[in-house]
Amino acid sequence: MTIGRICHREVDTAEPHETVRAAAQRMGSRAVGTLLVLDAARRPVGILTDRDIAVRVVGEGRDPNLVHVQDVMSRHPHTVAELAPLEDAIAIMRTHGVRRVPVVSIKGELVGMITLDDALGILAEDLWSMRRVVEKSSPRVLATP
């Protein structure tokens, strides 16, 4: 199964030059914890999380009305190709300690976002399906005492 088939196609974004306050308000109104920052060609150049705001703005006593997204975003987010298998996204998340990975086209343009929760949900469904197959073929193997 490719990432492109399972990723979220609607991704909330922020502009690099907008204030952190405006971005935070968008996060609140959209009930999201992450905004992706794109360049003019729609390639991901940064990611702004609620944690970035808490640590790099509030924690440092900076004014969210004066700080811009580009000043506190995490730059150069790791991406995964839309044609890649789910395992590639999981490997990126594990290796880099991130919970969200932008999904890009062959040209590097944003097509969606995959989250750790998405990946775990799909893996859980697959494991559940395999359990049912095993139960049907050998009911005693998985029977609980």
Q: What are the sequence ranges of the domains in the chain?
A: 3-137
* Site of tokens 């030059």: 17
pLDDT (0 to 100) of residue 114:
96
Q: What is the mean pLDDT of the chain?
A: 91
Cβ atoms < 10 Å from Cβ of 52:
20
Q: What percent of the chain has pLDDT over 90?
A: 77
pTM to 2 decimal places: 0.82
Residue 145 has pLDDT above 60, yes or no: no
Supply the pLDDT for residue 134: 72
One of 3.40.718.10, 3.40.50.620, 3.40.50.280, 3.10.580.10 is the CATH number of 3-137, namely 3.10.580.10
Strands 74-75 and 44-49, bridge-based pairing = antiparallel
pLDDT at 80: 97
